[in-house]
Chain A
Amino acid sequence: MNASNTTNTDTSYIGRPVNRVDGVLKVTGKAQYAGEYNTSGLLHGIVICSPIPRGKITSVSTSDALKVKGVKKVFTHENVKGLPWFDLSYKDMELLPGSPFRPFYSNEILFSQQPVALVVAESLELARYASTLVRIQYETAEFETSLERNLKKGFTPRRGKTGYEKPKSRGKAERALKKADVKVEAAYFHGAEHHNPMEMFSSTVLYENDDKLTIYDKTQGVLNSQSYVTRVFGLKSKNVRVLSPFVGGAFGSGLRPQYQLFMSVLAALDLKQSVRVTLTRQQMFSFGHRPITWQKLELGANKEGRLMGISHTAISETSRFETYTENVVNWSGRLYECENVRLDYQLVPLDVNSPLDMRAPGAATGVLALECAMDELAYALNIDPLELRLKNYTEIDPAMKRAFSSKNLMDCYKQGAEHFGWEKRSYQPRSMKDGKHLIGWGMSSGMWDAMMMPARAKARLTPDGKLTVSSATADIGTGTYTIMTQIAAETLGLPLNDVTFMLGDSSFVFAPFEGGSSTAASVGTAVLYVCQNIKEEVFKLAQKIDGSPFHNTSIEKVVFANGYITSEDDPQQTIAIAEVLQRSGVKFIEEKSTDLKLKNLIKQGKYSRNTHSAVFVEVKVDEDLGMISVTRVVSAVAAGTIINPKTSRSQVLGGVIWGISMALHEDTFLDNNLGRFMNHDLAEYHIPVHADNPEIEVIFVREKDEIINPLGVKGLGEIGIIGVASAVANAVFHATGKRVREFPITLDKVF
């Protein structure tokens, strides 16, 4: 593995833009993903999905498929028996209330594209061909997939999945809104979106005698997959090892075990052979999605522009078998100072598969509506949209009535506006032009949680001075490998090249799935602690060495840097870390971070912990054709310590592209007559391409946080997307004078 700056002997890596440690593997094609582990005798499975959204399978004919030489078996509900009955066996760490979908459990169809059969053959070509020979008859039942037609059928969820916070209203919003000098009221809508990581979901199950399995799975959490497999198939943990060293993007789609994992394990156990099941791109639309959501915002302000009342209602879809919840409306009670806030979150069960966390779930949706409404309020008040945000700035979390562990949104606004040139904006819509293009400048705020989850790490230092640190966490493109290496190297004062961080293996110590922007903070802290433990052990050994210069020195009086322990007072008193181990005669020093060790858990509980952002966007709209392009974005982010400015910037760049995509491109069309997503491929499901890429500037404002964790790290995976779509929408209004409240904003909606 390669890293830049290694010639520099300075081992202070935190805050340095070092290159990704897995970079060489990724640019040479040597990074191996779940569906790329080949072995002799590997069988291939192809999944068949239901064309109807609700009903029953009335007959299955597999005889033609089975006649093909090389076809091993066709699995359907008819021949898969003996699976557990209880919901609990199928639950995963997302813990949705309800009954998780169980492949092949019965002949019942619950959603369109439900997987109904698996054809396993000796080659991919034969499996695919044989899958066309399987005949399945269906009986369609009445179904309903339209959220818009059923907005009145919403219910308020009593409880939700992992991380759900029931929205809490405060004050008297209705009265305040009536009394407000200026009021805006608007409804916003966005369709379904699918994650579509570039790598399609795949599991390769390597079978060994006595049902011992090694599984390469596409997942954001190897322990989540391992636990699912052991419970569903009644296997012992020691016989199921799940690995996922490289993940070709996930964006939330890997937070739940997907059905290819179930199917490949089922087939491997049944046939006692190694099996791979890879989904097709079309099937990447068959599991979770960002739910279709309808929202209504009412904002009231006094003449000076101070918010008097906020009302935010969101009505979203869920499946009929699980309650999928997001924190959509909560942000409206936390981003600005306002005493009267009414929040209402409802769900409508429909004949669809359960939605699934997709990058910044809840906030991407809720902040979009809130920040568009804030722009509408600014124009109703006739004041600058940025000025409106500044007037309502809050230093404390108004929902919890407590301080933030840190909040530097103010500098995001200031530096973002300055770099963008916001003061040169002319206020009136349609007032800025470039030839036949209308120019629009819009802005938005963003907010996300800074989560700390329980996580552990293990480290081993050997006499050659090499350190290996491991944890069952993931790197879904986020840079986990790199930043953990940086933290470990800096803590022990070792060169980056002497440190290896390993992840994505269920045999490693516990880490939660990689989600919610929690990994850098949670696993990072575990890595810091375990390396501090190693450091203490090394120092104890160093003190015992014959003629040690540190006999009477405390660990506080020495520095670990550049591979050496050196006295602070006398730089001549120094010894190489490797030499300490060699001269002590130990084979290695190994430490595990003791459980969680969130030393200041109680202190943290007294503070709200969040990241913030301010996003400024320029769009150009063709006045004749209505074509919209985003030409410039400045995203200013406050997320505590930035461990690696290079990989962090990349995460925010990606978030910006996702926000533009949400505003202008992405939409999975649901045909309510068929109950089916129609544009289920990458030609018709639009995401930005190279040509859509604007000039993007990312700013990380200084934010010191001594409460959140010893590193002061808050996480970056989600904050980059939040507020981008609203800034784009507000820019489109500024360019055209037209408020488009239905996303994505396509050219047909602009004029």
Chain B
Amino acid sequence: MENIAEIKQPGIAQGQQPASEGQLLPVQLNINGKNYLLHLEPWTSLLDALREYLDLTGTKKGCDHGQCGACTILADGKRINSCLTLAVMYDGIPLTTIEGVAEGDTLHPLQQAFIDHDAFQCGYCTPGQICSAIGMMKEGRAQSSNDIHELMSGNLCRCGAYSNIHDAIEQVMEENINPEKK
């Protein structure tokens, strides 16, 4: 593997030994096409690894218990709750977070649709909603408008933007089926 960035723990001052009860484990994470080598407590969640050690704070913590969906990311294309899994379990598996959804400055169609439909207010659940919707579309199970509502129900939005989130997803799904609709 080339281009592996070794990450020092942000919580540790330069030159100091990483503090730990036990042994820190080396973990190699592949995120948005980049490889990172981390030394983590084995019980570090994937979510905390992203937010606290890699400064990829686009993935949100809303409950830390798999109850809200704010931490949804894509692991090998499948949507997962990154708070419910340990970072060490994803060694080498390609991960996509909200930071890797756009292609450079070009937004993913869903990101643009979220803006156009005003599918968020505070924006905190938004990265999870978008990753979850990308995962859902790939699953291919959503056949109707109701399916979207049902299959997105793991992602809570306290601002109540559900109507607009639904419309944004529906628009992109229709565009995928009929590209001329774009």
Could you tell me which A residues sit within 8 Å of B by CB distance? Answer: 2, 4, 19-20, 22-33, 35-36, 38-44, 68-70, 121-126, 129, 196-200, 246-251, 278, 280-281, 476-479, 646-647, 649-651, 653-658, 681-683, 687-693, 695-696
Whether A200 contacts B62 in the complex (CB less than 8 A), given A27-B126, A653-B163, comes out as yes
Chain A residues with CB under 8 Å of B67's CB are 281, 681-683
A41, A123, A656, A695 interface centre (most CB from chain B within 10 Å): A123
Residues in B whose Cβ lies below 8 Å from that of A43? 11
B99 at the interface (CB under 8 A from A): yes
Q: Nearest-CB distance from B25 to chain A (Å)?
A: 12
One of A68, A689, A695 near B156 (C-beta < 8 A): A689
- B14 interfacial by beta-carbon distance below 8 Å: yes
Q: Name the interface residues of B129-160: CB closer than 8 Å to any CB of A.
A: 130, 148-150, 152-160
Q: How far is A682 from B83 in the complex, measured between Cα atoms in Å? A: 14
B166 within 8 A of A: yes
**Most chain B beta carbons < 10 A, residue from A23, A126, A251:** A23
B8-52 Cβ-contact flags toward A at 8 Å (1 or 0): 011111100001110000000000000000000101100010011
- B95 interface residue (CB < 8 Å to A): no
Contact at B116–A248, with CB atoms within 8 Å?
Answer: no
Q: Given the complex of chains A and B, what is the CA–CA distance between A390 and B112 in angstroms?
A: 44
Q: Which residues of B contact A690 (CB under 8 A)?
A: 148-150, 152-153, 155, 162, 165-166
7 residue pairs from A and B, CB less than 8 Å apart = A39-B10, A41-B10, A42-B11, A122-B19, A126-B19, A129-B21, A281-B65
Taking the nearest CB of chain A, how far is it from the CB of B154, in angstroms? Answer: 8
Please give the distance in Å from B115's CB to the nearest CB on chain A. 4
Interfacial chain B residues near A33, Cβ < 8 Å? 57, 60, 124
Looking at the complex, which one of A30, A41, A121, A653 makes contact with B161 (CB distance below 8 Å)? A653
Q: A70-B19, A122-B19 are in contact. Are A681 and B127 (CB under 8 A)?
A: no
* A-side contacts of B44, CB under 8 Å: 125
Picked from A2, A22, A479, A657, the residue with its CB within 8 Å of the CB of B160 is: A657
Residue B121 contacts which of A126, A654, A692, A693 (CB distance < 8 angstroms)? A654
**Mask for B45-73, Cβ within 8 A of A = 1, else 0?**
00010011001111111111101101000
Known contacts being A281-B65, A682-B68, is A246 close to B123, with CB within 8 Å? Answer: yes
Question: Given contacts A27-B126, A28-B99, A199-B60, are A249 and B11 in contact (CB under 8 A)?
Answer: no
Set of chain B residues within 8 Å of A246, measured between Cβ atoms: 122-123
Q: Which of B52, B116, B153, B166 contacts A124 (CB 8 A)?
A: B52
**Given contact pairs A29-B98, A123-B19, A124-B11, a sample of 18 additional A-B residue pairs in the complex whose CB atoms are under 8 Å apart:** A4-B116, A19-B116, A19-B118, A27-B114, A122-B9, A123-B12, A123-B41, A125-B44, A198-B156, A249-B159, A477-B159, A646-B118, A649-B118, A653-B164, A654-B160, A654-B161, A682-B156, A695-B163
Task: Evaluate contact between A41 and B13: CB separation under 8 angstroms.
Answer: yes
Whether the Cβ atoms of B52 and A38 lie closer than 8 Å is yes
Tell me the complex Cα distance, A95–B164, Å.
37
Given the known A-B contacts A198-B60, A690-B148, are A477 and B123 also in contact in the complex, defined by CB atoms under 8 Å? yes
Residues of B close to A198: CB separation below 8 A = 60, 62, 68, 70, 122, 124-125, 156-159
Query: CB within 8 A of A650: which of B70, B130, B150, B164?
Result: B164
Given contacts A27-B115, A650-B161, A682-B65, contact A248 B11 (CB under 8 A): no
Q: Is the CB of B63 within 8 A of A249?
A: no
CB-defined contacts of A646 to chain B, threshold 8 Å: 118
Q: Which residues of A contact B125 (CB under 8 A)?
A: 198
How long is the Cα–Cα vector from A251 to B159 in the complex, in angstroms?
Answer: 9
Which residues of chain B are within 8 angstroms of A249 by Cβ–Cβ distance? 121-122, 124, 158-159
- Residue pair A281, B52 in contact (C-beta under 8 Å): no
Nearest CB in chain B to that of A696: its residue: B163
Q: Which residue of A lies closest to B10 (CB)?
A: A38
Please indicate the chain B residues that have their CB under 8 angstroms from the CB of A251 in the complex. 158
Known: A69-B20, A124-B48. A478 touches B121 (CB 8 A): yes
Nearest-neighbour CB distance to chain A for B175, whole angstroms, equals 17
CB distance A123 to B11 under 8 Å? yes
Asked if B160 and A28 make an inter-chain contact with CB atoms under 8 angstroms apart, the answer reads no
Interface of A is mostly: loop
- In the bound complex, how far is the Cα of B43 from the Cα of A247, in angstroms? 29
State in angstroms the CA–CA spacing of A688 and B161 once bound together: 11
Interface residues on B, range: 35 or more
User: Top 5 nearest A-B pairs by Cβ distance?
Assistant: A29-B58, A70-B19, A657-B160, A248-B124, A477-B122
Q: Is the CB of B19 within 8 A of A69?
A: yes
Q: Which residues of A contact B21 (CB under 8 A)?
A: 68-69, 126, 129
Residues of B within 8 A of A31 (CB): 123
Q: What's the minimum C-beta distance from A587 to chain B, rounded to whole angstroms?
A: 31
B156 engages A248 (CB within 8 Å) = no
> Contacts A40-B14, A248-B124, A691-B153: A28 and B107 contacting too (C-beta < 8 A)?
yes
Q: How far is the CB of A627 from chain B (nearest CB, A)?
A: 15
Cα distance, A280 to B67, chains bound together (Å): 13
CA A477 – CA B43 in complex, angstroms? Answer: 34
Quick check: B153 and A41 within 8 Å, CB to CB?
Answer: no
Docked Cα-Cα span, A144 to B65, in Å, equals: 31
Task: Provide the residues of chain B in CB contact with A27, threshold 8 Å.
Answer: 98, 107, 111-112, 114-115, 120, 123, 126-127, 130
Question: Is residue B81 within 8 Å, beta carbon to beta carbon, of the partner chain?
Answer: no
| Choice from B48, B57, B112, B159 contacting A32 with Cβ under 8 Å | B57
Most buried by B among A196, A682, A695: A682
Q: How far is B67's CA from A281's CA once the two chains are assembled, in angstroms?
A: 10
**B102 on the interface (CB 8 Å rule)?**
yes
Q: Residue among B20, B57, B158 with the most chain A CB within 10 A?
A: B158
Q: Are B10 and A40 in contact (CB-based, < 8 A)?
A: yes
Q: How far is the CA of A19 from the CA of B116 in the complex (A)?
A: 6
CB-based nearest A residue for B65: A681
Interchain CB contact under 8 A, B12 and A122: yes
Contact (Cβ within 8 A) B116 A197: no
| Contact (Cβ within 8 A) A29 B10 | no
CB distance from B126 to the nearest CB of A (A): 5
Task: Point out the residues of chain A lying under 8 angstroms from B163, CB to CB.
Answer: 653, 693, 695-696
Closest B residue to A196 by CB, please name it. B158
Rounded to whole angstroms, the CA-CA distance of A688 and B158 in the bound complex is 8
Question: How distant is A274 from chain B, measured CB to nearest CB, in Å?
Answer: 10
B97 at the interface (CB under 8 A from A): yes
> Whole-angstrom distance between the alpha carbons of A35 and B153 in the complex?
26
CA distance A250 to B159 in the complex (A): 9
Report B78 CB to chain A, min CB distance, Å: 19
Enumerate chain B residues within 8 angstroms of A278, measured Cβ to Cβ: 61
Docked-complex contact B164 and A248, CB < 8 angstroms: no
A44 x B156 contact (CB < 8 A): no
Interface centre among A121, A691, A695 (most CB of B within 10 A): A691
Which single member of B19, B107, B154 contacts A24 (CB below 8 Å)?
B107
The docked-state distance in angstroms from the alpha carbon of A657 to that of B125 is 16
Residue of chain B at shortest CB distance from A29: B58
Measured CB to CB, the closest approach of chain A to B41, in angstroms, equals: 4
Instruction: Specify which chain B residues have a CB less than 8 angstroms from the CB of A479 in the assembled complex.
Output: 121
Q: A27-B107, A27-B126, A69-B21 are in contact. Are A650 and B152 (CB under 8 A)?
A: no
Write out the residue numbers on chain A whose beta carbons fall within 8 Å of the beta carbon of B160. 653-658, 688
A655 to B68, CA, bound (A): 20
Known: A199-B60, A476-B122. A126 touches B158 (CB 8 A): no
A residues within 8 A CB of B116? Answer: 4, 19
Contacting pair B121 A688 (CB below 8 A):
no
CA–CA, A627 to B137, complex, Å?
29
The smallest C-beta distance from B47 to any residue of chain A, in angstroms, reads 11
Q: How far is the CB of A71 from chain B (nearest CB, A)?
A: 8
Q: Contact check: which of A199, A280, A689 meets B124 at CB < 8 Å? A: A199
Q: Which of B61, B126, B157, B159 contacts A200 (CB 8 A)?
A: B61
Q: Are A248 and B107 in contact (CB under 8 A)?
A: no
Q: Would A36 and B57 count as touching, CB distance under 8 A?
A: yes
Contact A125 B99 (CB under 8 A): no
Knowing A27-B107, A681-B67, the reply to whether A20 touches B55 (Cβ < 8 A) is: no
